[in-house]
């Protein structure tokens, strides 16, 4: 079951779903069956001039990851074919009986902007900012403005509370992330 606008609002007011924004009225971001999120100010990208291949079994040297932190009023241009990591402006915290799906906005998809490549699922018990996997599949550059609405969360109610939530799993790599987080797949047991 997907939560309706009424259920989302009630859960936030009852502190049974966290959605924290330091700047925006979160209740104005609630849609009929989703909650809009905004683009944060920080981005990371892999420097293709220094890296010949990315091996998921190995950590990438930090010097090969470029960090861009924008100020209020600054924009970021995503070039055709470019892949960057961004983050949500808001922090989300899920209880043990809800999962969230991260979806891009249709209006941006029509421009050729993808905000998540594969990681659109947020586990019960997760808390933090969501790292966005942003790609421009258009042939024209796209300008992004921090603070703009770029996506939405749809919340799904589980059939029962999970036994072990994301926060309690030993293999959880991204709990409490407060900024853009590059892949930690190298921590997986192969």
Pairing of strands 149-157, 35-38: antiparallel
42 close to 180: Cβ distance less than 8 angstroms: yes
Place of tokens 């699922």: 121
Angle, vertex CA 174, rays to CA 172 and CA 179, nearest 5: 175
Active site positions, annotated: 133
Handedness of CA 44, 48, 49, 55 (dihedral sign): positive
């Amino acid at each position: 079951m997907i939560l309706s606008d009424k259920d989302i609002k009630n859960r936030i007011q009852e502190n049974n779903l966290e959605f924290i924004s330091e700047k925006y009225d979160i209740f104005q971001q609630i849609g009929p069956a989703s909650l809009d999120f905004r683009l944060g100010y920080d981005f990371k990208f892999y420097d293709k001039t220094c890296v010949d291949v990315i091996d998921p079994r190995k950590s990438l040297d930090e010097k090969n990851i470029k960090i861009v932190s924008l100020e209020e009023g600054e924009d970021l241009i995503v070039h055709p074919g470019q892949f960057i990591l961004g983050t949500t402006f808001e922090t989300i915290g899920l209880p043990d009986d809800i999962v969230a799906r991260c979806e891009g906005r249709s209006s941006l998809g029509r421009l050729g902007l993808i905000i998540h490549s594969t990681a659109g699922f947020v586990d019960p018990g997760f808390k933090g900012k969501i790292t966005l996997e942003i790609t421009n599949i258009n042939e024209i550059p796209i300008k992004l403005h921090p603070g703009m609405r770029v996506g939405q969360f749809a919340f799904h109610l589980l059939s029962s509370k999970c036994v072990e939530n994301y926060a309690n799993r030993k293999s959880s790599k991204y709990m409490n992330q407060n900024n853009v987080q590059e892949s930690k797949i190298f921590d997986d047991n192969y």
